[in-house]
Chains A and B, each alone.
Chain A
Amino acid sequence: SAVISQKPSRDICQRGTSLTIQCQVDSQVTMMFWYRQQPGQSLTLIATANQGSEATYESGFVIDKFPISRPNLTFSTLTVSNMSPEDSSIYLCSVEGWGGGEQFFGPGTRLTVL
């Protein structure tokens, strides 16, 4: 399985500010995804990070609020923009390898918005 790291691991931010979360994988992968896990809840897919093109967002998530970049096959960023307390969640990146199917998650970024 791939080794996935996320930065920062946690942060406390003020309302109205933005935070960029980084996801780094130790090997090239085909697919990268971003998920949100609200406190005590399940995971919800935010978007698919496409290498070299715009991300594909799920219903309820928009690019202006969650801009995503994926400059190469091992790295992606998610920005949470104009934050409000409702954005307090754990944000997780996941990757799918070349064989397809198996998807592995990073350790997550725990975000608290005051």
Chain B
Amino acid sequence: QQQVKQSPQSLIVQKGGISIINCAYENTAFDYFPWYQQFPGKGPALLIAIRPDVSEKKEGRFTISFNKSAKQFSLHIMDSQPGDSATYFCAASSWGKLQFGAGTQVVVTP
């Protein structure tokens, strides 16, 4: 039973475009929602995170939008660059235990 559902599975975007990845959850006990970026052969790197009392958080080109009532959250990557090509995972945490989405492979074309 997957507690965090992520879409799309893959995404191709042109350089300068916007990448949008969506996640949904069911467990209302989740209280922390991070996004991780993973390059091949590397461990996941924390990108940005949000708590449910905030509807939006922006750090540089990365923005999380959070809709508590709909139990959905999304990652927006503005001005996408070829160096952003990676796999992105959303996650939801309760008591520090992370439940991960299935991942989205993002490819940014020059």
B60 within 8 A of A: no
How distant is B30 from chain A, measured CB to nearest CB, in Å?
A: 12
Complex contact B96–A96 (CB within 8 A): yes
Complex contact A103–B93 (CB within 8 A): yes
Residue of A41, A48, A92, A103 most packed against chain B (CB within 10 A): A103
Complex contact A1–B43 (CB within 8 A): no
B42 within 8 A of A: yes
* Size class of the A contact interface (CB-based, 8 Å): 20 to 34
Which residue in A41, A43, A48, A110 is a CB contact (below 8 Å) of B96? A48
Main secondary structure, interface of B, reads strand
* Size class of the B contact interface (CB-based, 8 Å): 20 to 34
Complex contact A92–B98 (CB within 8 A): no
Collect the chain B residues with CB atoms within 8 Å of residue A110's CB: 41
Complex contact A48–B97 (CB within 8 A): yes
Collect the chain A residues with CB atoms within 8 Å of residue B36's CB: 105
B49 within 8 A of A: yes
Given contacts A45-B97, A103-B98, contact A92 B46 (CB under 8 A): no
Closest to A93 in B: B43
Complex contact B98–A43 (CB within 8 A): yes
Complex contact B46–A107 (CB within 8 A): no
B62 within 8 A of A: no
Interface-lining segment among B66-74, B76-84, B100-108:
B100-108
Collect the chain A residues with CB atoms within 8 Å of residue B41's CB: 110
Question: A41-B103, A102-B34, A107-B43 are known contacts; what are 14 more A-B pairs with Cβ within 8 Å?
Answer: A4-B43, A33-B97, A35-B98, A41-B102, A42-B89, A42-B101, A44-B100, A48-B96, A94-B98, A102-B46, A103-B96, A103-B98, A105-B44, A108-B43
Which 4 pairs show the lowest CB-CB distances between chains A and B?
Answer: A105-B43, A42-B100, A43-B100, A107-B43
